Amino acid sequence: MTAAAPTPALPDAPAASGLRTLLFPLAIALAVGLDYFDNSAFSFFISDIAGGIGAPPDELIWSSSAYAVAGVLGILQHQWWVERLGHRHYIGACLLLFAAAGVLAALSQSSAELAVARALQGYLMGPMMGATRILIQQSFAPRERGRATRLFLCSILLCSALAPLAGGYLVADFGWRAVFVCTIPVALITGGLVMLAVPATGRLPPEQRGEPHLWPYVIAALALGALQIVAQQLRTSPFSESPGLEGLTLAGVLLLGAFLWHQWHHPRPLLHLHGLKEATFRTGLMLYALYYFISNAFSYLVSRFLQAGLGYPVENAGHLVGVTSLVALAGALLYFRFAGRLTRKKGLITTGFVLAALIGTWLAHLPPDVSQSWLLLPLTLRGLLLLFIALPVANLAFQPFALELYPHSYRVKNIVKQMAYSFSTATIIVLEQHRLALHQTQLAANASLSNPVFASALEQLTQRFAQAGAALAAAHGLALAEIQRVITQQANFMSVLDGFVFLGGVSAVAAGYALWPVSYTHLRAHET
């Protein structure tokens, strides 16, 4: 494979002993775990956050998009910062500044203020998964790398489960701001631990450092910003109604193309793209994008299903999702033990997407009075999707790369993750809001005195409130309010079911892609 000149490899990590040796993998595991906790909590409690700042959920798409765009910009500069600060100071500084940005997020009074705070958090934490995973790959000997990687992945699973579990009780007791406040002390402690335990590697002398790429970086920022604005506006205004969007789209595409062309031909770019020459890697990126889209969408929809659809209190919803997600941790331990014996990992990937399609279909057909026992199986299976999809894809996608090319390819993969999360959140929220408005209109059309069923229900409710001591006029108003509440809950329930139907369809398409023989022709040589 022909590739651009790689960034000089990191020097071997200095030998360490005792407590520092033990704390090093723990520190970077906590760093990436905090990243996943933050993203999982924001996705799960996005409706609570929107309600807290008095904004409709679709306004928080700006916060999600700002996080993703800033995260991509942070990933592009990740290596530039490491070459000047080293891994210890870069990761430690990101964590400490993330805590400061968490304060801004917790103090936000509007969706615009929250979007700015989330953009800062995205720039700091967006590169974290890549930074820590690359550090594991380059700092540990092959015989020690497996243990560090297992701790890394277990931290992801544990923190993803703790986000709804602990977050539910915090939001119930202290409000939506607790979603951000709870990450502040963890970030401070983890940052201190990183400064103590992570070796001082990665910093290069001035003559070996890469170029700042100021103008290419500005072009990338303008391109991503333009395309995100277009994506946001298209949810309410099609191209035909907003001619300016066409020009903005063209500008964004041209600027992005110019950035990619520059990076492809530059000997030491911000982002090495030559890994895309590998068909295995291209297929892996597509599978990753589908997985991250589905996983993030499930997190949002399950939260809405339990709270808005079934009327679960936030702490009960968080407890149910968190406990069932912990099963994935036990599954991960089994996977690590037997992964070497699984010779056809592509079968696991296909099975995972089929499982996601079945989960979406299962949840889409549940009645509004479903018992909790009927929710346990699909929610538990949802927690296992990472084991069936993400881990086997990682094994296949990165096998063609030597150690010195692994960091560049992993940064590309991390950009795909950020954009898939953002696109998933925007798509699902827009879909749900559209279907919610449709169902509310349809249900309200039946709420007419000419409808004998409605008239009878209104009369019964009015009498019930009157018997409870309310005056006749007040009883009538209370009855109407109760009917409106039921209509809203039913509309929420039906819109979320539509979301599960859509997600089941996306998962089925993903399973078809994973099963398609052409997708794996080039992978057979890499399966072990």
Question: How much is the pLDDT for 384?
Answer: 87
- Are 339 and 486 within 8 A, CB to CB? no
pLDDT over 50 (residue 110): yes
What gap in Å lies between CA 309 and CA 301, rounded to an integer? 10
Give me the percent of the chain exceeding a pLDDT of 70.
Answer: 89
Flag the least confident range among 7-16, 141-150, 231-240, 247-256.
7-16
- Are 507 and 352 within 8 A, CB to CB? no
Structure tokens given for 175:
């409000």
- Are 444 and 487 within 8 A, CB to CB? yes
Structure tokens given for 301:
């929809």
Domain residue ranges in the chain: 16-213, 215-265, 274-528
What gap in Å lies between CA 345 and CA 155, rounded to an integer? 23
Q: What is the pLDDT of residues 348-388, one digit of tens each?
A: 899 999 999 999 999 999 998 898 889 999 999 998 888 88
- Are 39 and 421 within 8 A, CB to CB? yes
What gap in Å lies between CA 13 and CA 144, rounded to an integer? 13
Question: How much is the pLDDT for 176?
Answer: 94
Average pLDDT, the chain: 84
pLDDT over 70 (residue 392): yes
What gap in Å lies between CA 388 and CA 200, rounded to an integer? 36
Residue 399 DSSP SS3: coil
Question: How much is the pLDDT for 404?
Answer: 67
- Confidence category of residue 237, pLDDT binned at 50, 70, 90: low
pLDDT (average), residues 165-194:
94
pLDDT over 50 (residue 2): no
Q: Between these two residues, 344 and 188, which has the higher pLDDT value?
A: 188
What are the DSSP calls for 326-369, one per residue? Answer: HHHHHHHHHHHHHGGG---HHHHHHHHHHHHHHHHHHHHT--TT
Question: How much is the pLDDT for 340?
Answer: 67
What are the DSSP calls for 292-328, one per residue? Answer: HHHHHHHHHHHHHIIIIIT---HHHHHHHHHHHHHHH
Q: How many CB atoms lie within 10 A of CB 326?
A: 18
Q: Nearest 5°: CA angle at 317, between 311 and 318?
A: 155
For 274-528, CATH number out of 1.20.1250.20, 3.90.79.10, 3.30.420.40, 3.40.50.720 equals 1.20.1250.20
Helix pair 111-125, 61-106: axis angle to 10 deg: 90
| Fold equal for 16-213 and 274-528 | yes
What gap in Å lies between CA 376 and CA 23, rounded to an integer? 36
- Confidence category of residue 499, pLDDT binned at 50, 70, 90: very high
pLDDT over 90 (residue 326): no
Q: Between these two residues, 157 and 185, which has the higher pLDDT value?
A: 185
Structure tokens given for 386:
């990472």
- Confidence category of residue 187, pLDDT binned at 50, 70, 90: very high
Flag the least confident range among 313-317, 397-401, 508-512.
397-401
- Are 477 and 462 within 8 A, CB to CB? no
Tokens 């929250």 belong to 114
pLDDT over 50 (residue 527): no
Give me the percent of the chain exceeding a pLDDT of 90.
Answer: 35
What gap in Å lies between CA 319 and CA 408, rounded to an integer? 38
What are the DSSP calls for 71-128, one per residue? Answer: HHHHHHHHHHHHHHHHHHHHHHHHHHHHHHHHHHHHT--SHHHHHHHHHHHHHHHTTH
* Beta-carbon-side half-sphere exposure of residue 228 (alpha carbons within 13 Å): 23
- Confidence category of residue 171, pLDDT binned at 50, 70, 90: very high
What gap in Å lies between CA 179 and CA 174, rounded to an integer? 9
CATH for 16-213 is 1.20.1250.20
Q: Nearest 5°: CA angle at 423, between 422 and 425?
A: 65
- Are 48 and 163 within 8 A, CB to CB? no
pLDDT (average), residues 406-414:
84
Closest to 275 (Cα-Cα) out of 411, 158, 175: 411
Closest to 421 (Cα-Cα) out of 27, 67, 75, 47: 67
- Chain centroid offset of residue 78 CA: 20
Report the first-to-last Cα separation within the chain, whole angstroms: 21
Q: How many CB atoms lie within 10 A of CB 509?
A: 13
- Confidence category of residue 485, pLDDT binned at 50, 70, 90: confident
Q: What is the pLDDT of residues 39-67, one digit of tens each?
A: 999 989 998 999 899 888 778 888 888 89
Q: Between these two residues, 509 and 462, which has the higher pLDDT value?
A: 509
pLDDT (average), residues 386-403:
80
- Confidence category of residue 5, pLDDT binned at 50, 70, 90: very low
pLDDT over 50 (residue 21): yes
What gap in Å lies between CA 98 and CA 233, rounded to an integer? 29
pLDDT (average), residues 470-498:
86
Amino acid identity at 155: S
Q: What is the pLDDT of residues 429-469, one digit of tens each?
A: 888 888 988 998 888 887 777 778 778 888 888 888 888 88
pLDDT over 80 (residue 497): yes
What gap in Å lies between CA 312 and CA 333, rounded to an integer? 31
Q: What is the pLDDT of residues 277-315, one digit of tens each?
A: 888 888 899 999 999 999 999 999 999 999 988 889 999
- Are 386 and 378 within 8 A, CB to CB? no
pLDDT over 80 (residue 345): no
Closest to 166 (Cα-Cα) out of 178, 148, 177: 178
User: Burial level of 192, CB count in 10 A (0-12/13-18/19+)?
Assistant: middle
Q: Between these two residues, 99 and 449, which has the higher pLDDT value?
A: 99
pLDDT over 50 (residue 11): no
Flag the least confident range among 111-120, 259-268, 342-351, 494-503.
342-351
What gap in Å lies between CA 366 and CA 377, rounded to an integer? 13
pLDDT (average), residues 69-96:
92
Question: How much is the pLDDT for 267?
Answer: 83
User: Burial level of 54, CB count in 10 A (0-12/13-18/19+)?
Assistant: exposed
Closest to 424 (Cα-Cα) out of 356, 346, 345: 356
What gap in Å lies between CA 520 and CA 225, rounded to an integer? 35
